[in-house]
Structure 1
Amino acid sequence: MAAMMQPQIILLKEGTDTSQGKAQLVSNINACTAVADVVRSTLGPRGMDKLIHDDKGTVTISNDGATIMKLLDIVHPAAKILVDIAKSQDSEVGDGTTTVVLLAAEFLREAKPFIEDGVHPQNLIRSFRNASYKAIQKIKELAKSIEGQSLEEKKRLLSKCAATTLSSKLIGGEKEFFASMVVDAVGAIGDGDRLNMIGIKKVPGGTMRDSFLVNGVAFKKTFSYAGFEQQPKKFLNPKILLLNIELELKSEKENAEIRLSDPSQYQSIVDAEWNIIYEKLDKCVQSGAKVVLSRLAIGDLATQYFADRDIFCAGRVAEEDLLRVAAATGGTVQTSVNNVVDEVLGTCEHFEERQVGNERFNIFSGCPSGRTATIVLRGGADQIHLLTLSGSQQLSRSML
């Protein structure tokens, strides 16, 4: 019997903490409070910024709790839960990320003496749950409904709520300006909660007050091909064709092989390739569209072809921008140029390519659906953009 009982060997990584029970609970609480102390000084109207330098050499300056928690390289499993709390708060509400981390840490700090006195964790959890019920009831008593109020009154109240989220940010001095902008952007997408219908673009240079809202879609000019400068850059009430196909001559795939018995047949193969691309381009022109956008490349030949016929085109448009153009203009993204009917074409009141700082932007405004908006952020440095972007995203989620 003694021979059958072998000693149990547990292999653990060097430096592994094997503590259990009360000691481990206290250790977990201490780790969480240490993380909370990192972001504690960022809270409030006079909250201080943190400079974070990661192993890739990237430097980030922010007082946004969610941003800081994402950048912290936390190894402790209990402390990682605070990161998940911040991410969940940022995703669901868009604001209060620092607050939830500090509240969670303070709850743990207050529970620490009870743990040391031997109170079972389940009893503490039951008490926290009862406290949360009472807190929710109190919040409902304090809540103010905006149902039935005029549009102007709703916008005024929402702007005040939105400005509150920017009080502690670097752009707090312009909080009324950005709060009003974001409320208008959220109002533009209607009653839906599709935050991806609000685009946020960054353009270095200028002041924060140079930021503006487009009631439609705006995106940076895509890669330019030969003939691009000859295209018209402004249209009134254009028809818009949205594609997900390449409009350029494509090289043969790897290991493609063509056997010819007569050298004269080679020219017929070359002509067939050119005829295919010309047929596609001709069908785009026949559709009546004045603006052609594609998620894939539109090459030199197509760009010059469209320019000769007073048509604007842009290839390699980002998928999210193309989908927002489709939602705004009422168009449908096509995977073929065959049988393009008016029902799949989008339209807008005004299209133009405009210079914004050192960048050129394609701007679609006066869209019939009115379900999209784009915020173009200006600032003298990337850190200004980061903080403004963070604040704008928080505002958008908060309003929704």
Structure 2
Amino acid sequence: MSMRQPVFILSEDTKRTRGRDAQENNINAAKAVAAAVRTTLGPKGMDKMLVDTLGDVIITNDGVTILKEMDIEHPAAKMVVEVAKTQEDEVGDGTTTAVVIAGELLKQAQELLEQDVHPTIIASGLRQASHKCQEILENEIAVDVEVDDKEKLMKVGETAMTGKGAESARDTLREIVVNAITAVADETEDGYQVNVENVKVQKKVGGRAKDTQLVDGMIIDKEKVHPEMPKSVENAKIALISAPIEHKETEVDAEIQITNPDQLQQFLDEEEAMLKKLVNKIKESGANVVFCQKGIDDMAQHYLAKEGILAVRRARKSDLKKLARATGGNVVSNIDEISEEDLGQAGHIKEKRVSNENMLFIEDCKNPRSVSLLVRGGTEHVVDEVERALEDALKVVAVAVEDGKIVAGGGAPEVELAHRLREYAASVGGREQLAIEAFANALEIVPRTLAENAGLDPIDALVDLRNKHEAGEKAAGLNVFDGEVIDMWEAGVVEPLRVKTQAVDSASETAVMVLRIDDVISGGSGSGGDQPDMPGGPGGGMPGGMGGMGGMM
């Protein structure tokens, strides 16, 4: 009997993991990522200190920031990081919630795999559960909110900032956030559209978080180009210019031969006259303030100062666009064609000193479609964390204004969804029923984690929550400060609907994707595809010696 030769289709240094091993490895990696951020969830969540290879330090409990800074190698773990990034892009908050739910879904699925339930059946059940969750959230849990209901919107902003670096000043900040978003909201046929980019966030170290202020206009981190220019301008007429205020270079390489001093003087006079003409054009338009994206020649600065015009050079393109929205002006690319209609208007412009640096405040704009926040804080780390909290709050308030729907927080929607899914599972039958029940169990990780992070007994808290929801109290959530189960609407713990729908959706999609992988083929050494010897999967390789986070399971 002849021996059969084995057929090799992959190169020798290719690593391959198949079947249950591949699933276990991927699930453990994803669970380790969820475990890394789980302790940051909720108002009582802890912070992480991230140290990169250069020694720069970030202290935060913002899920997406932590995961972006971690140097994650494992491909399945990277898929879970994508959940956080998507949540950040779509909603701006709830990143930790989304990752924790994804990790718990995979943990529950792992238990079903051990009972020999096929991955495709689990995936089918998880998808059904996810669809049902979206239905229940939109039709039965969410409540409408109007753009002029500032009280509710402030609650949304406050909830987003709770537990973050800005919490000490949240009463001041929540009002600033709502006023900023309602100022830049554009009304459309279908409701409102909000581009958070139209709120400029400017950081300056110094003062306290409470000193953060909203400017109904713009703050430009620049100073006037010439000392003789006015420090403040009342009733400002603003020219926004994207072209340089300098003498034009010839388009072709030209050589000018000067044979005597008179010709040189004539050439210089000509240049000077050209600059004077440009400045006269600006003056004739009625402008008394100029923001220029490019350079301003020294001689042009002198003429502008002589005319009493305040000028700024090298302004960012994005700042010019925001100034145009804030002041109602147009960005002009050709100075020869500037007219009075192109000018923006502001009540006054003032150069103020903030933390030993001069900044320009463009205020009292008639109808500011773009506004600025000046963020303050005692140290650089504090300012950075306040900025992160403010950006989250701005995004969630914007989402609440756009969608017009909000839900209670404090774990209330998750417990209600779990309760309703268990009822739904009984009607489905078959093996999918097990996966739907697993989804319900996974959602309860949110209130359980909130309780754990607050030092409360998670089992007692969960039992209390379940009892209230079974009695029909849809908004019953956990008050982490005293351990009581209370009505979250009355407590003012409110989140936009999209935070929950997006978290459930992306967590379930990622869990299904990881479950359906039964073969990991990684080309050559050095790829992070197959690392069974590492604790929890993606442990090593994190900056600042934070390795082995998989061991935090």
Other-structure match for 2:212: 211
Other-structure match for 2:10: 10
Other-structure match for 1:290: 288
State the TM-score, normalized to the length of structure 2: 0.66
* Distance in 1 of aligned mates of 2:30 and 2:216: 44
The one-letter code sitting in structure 2 at the alignment partner of 1:155 is K
Aligned pair in 2 of structure 1 residues 174, 6: CA closer, same or farther (>3 Å)?
same
Aligned 8 A contact 2:214 2:373 in 1 = yes
Structure 2 runs not aligned, ≥5 long = 187-192, 399-553
**Which 10-residue stretch deviates more, 309-318 or 264-273?**
264-273
Other-structure match for 2:526: none
Superposition pairs for residues 368-383 of structure 1, below 5 Å? 368-383=366-381
3-state SS in 2 of match to 1:101: helix
Measured after TM superposition, the shift of residue 188 of structure 1 is: 0.8
Measured after TM superposition, the shift of residue 155 of structure 1 is: 0.5
Aligned 8 A contact 1:203 1:359 in 2 = no
Aligned 8 A contact 1:26 1:115 in 2 = no
The one-letter code sitting in structure 2 at the alignment partner of 1:317 is A
Other-structure match for 1:168: 163
* Distance in 1 of aligned mates of 2:107 and 2:6: 43
Measured after TM superposition, the shift of residue 31 of structure 1 is: 0.3
Aligned 8 A contact 2:247 2:274 in 1 = no
Other-structure match for 1:187: 182
Other-structure match for 1:220: 221
Q: Deviations over 1:120-152 (max 9, x none)?
A: 3222122112112222233231211124x9x3x
Q: Identify which of 50, 64, 67 aligns with 1:69.
A: 67
* Distance in 2 of aligned mates of 1:9 and 1:179: 61
Measured after TM superposition, the shift of residue 262 of structure 1 is: 4.1
* Distance in 1 of aligned mates of 2:248 and 2:237: 27
* Distance in 1 of aligned mates of 2:12 and 2:240: 57
* Distance in 2 of aligned mates of 1:195 and 1:134: 31
Aligned pair in 2 of structure 1 residues 301, 261: CA closer, same or farther (>3 Å)?
closer
Other-structure match for 2:408: none
Aligned 8 A contact 1:246 1:297 in 2 = yes
* Distance in 2 of aligned mates of 1:262 and 1:364: 50
Superposition pairs for residues 1-400 of structure 1, below 5 Å? 8=8, 10-11=10-11, 17-140=15-138, 141-147=140-146, 151=148, 154-191=149-186, 192-222=193-223, 225=225, 228-249=226-247, 256=253, 258-260=255-257, 262-263=259-260, 265-400=263-398
* Distance in 1 of aligned mates of 2:70 and 2:345: 46
Other-structure match for 2:507: none
User: How large is the RMSD of aligned CA atoms in angstroms?
Assistant: 2.3
The one-letter code sitting in structure 2 at the alignment partner of 1:143 is A
**Which 10-residue stretch deviates more, 374-383 or 109-118?**
109-118
3-state SS in 2 of match to 1:245: coil
Aligned 8 A contact 1:63 1:169 in 2 = yes
Aligned 8 A contact 1:22 1:116 in 2 = no
Aligned 8 A contact 1:290 1:311 in 2 = yes
**Which 10-residue stretch deviates more, 204-213 or 186-195?**
186-195
The one-letter code sitting in structure 2 at the alignment partner of 1:260 is Q
Q: Deviations over 1:307-352 (max 9, x none)?
A: 1111100001111111110111111111111132111111112221
**Which 10-residue stretch deviates more, 372-381 or 298-307?**
298-307
Aligned pair in 2 of structure 1 residues 307, 12: CA closer, same or farther (>3 Å)?
farther
Aligned pair in 2 of structure 1 residues 290, 261: CA closer, same or farther (>3 Å)?
closer
* Distance in 1 of aligned mates of 2:304 and 2:340: 19
State the TM-score, normalized to the length of structure 1: 0.91
Q: Deviations over 1:183-237 (max 9, x none)?
A: 1100111233211110000111111111111011112124x64xx2221122222
The one-letter code sitting in structure 2 at the alignment partner of 1:11 is S
Measured after TM superposition, the shift of residue 7 of structure 1 is: 5.4
Aligned 8 A contact 2:50 2:69 in 1 = yes
3-state SS in 2 of match to 1:70: helix
3-state SS in 1 of match to 2:349: strand
- Count of aligned pairs: 387
* Distance in 2 of aligned mates of 1:359 and 1:75: 42
The one-letter code sitting in structure 1 at the alignment partner of 2:180 is A
Measured after TM superposition, the shift of residue 273 of structure 1 is: 2.6
Measured after TM superposition, the shift of residue 259 of structure 1 is: 5.0
* Distance in 2 of aligned mates of 1:170 and 1:391: 7
**Which 10-residue stretch deviates more, 260-269 or 179-188?**
260-269
Measured after TM superposition, the shift of residue 116 of structure 1 is: 3.3
* Distance in 2 of aligned mates of 1:247 and 1:386: 36
The one-letter code sitting in structure 2 at the alignment partner of 1:146 is V
Q: Deviations over 1:30-74 (max 9, x none)?
A: 001111111111112111111111112211111100110110111
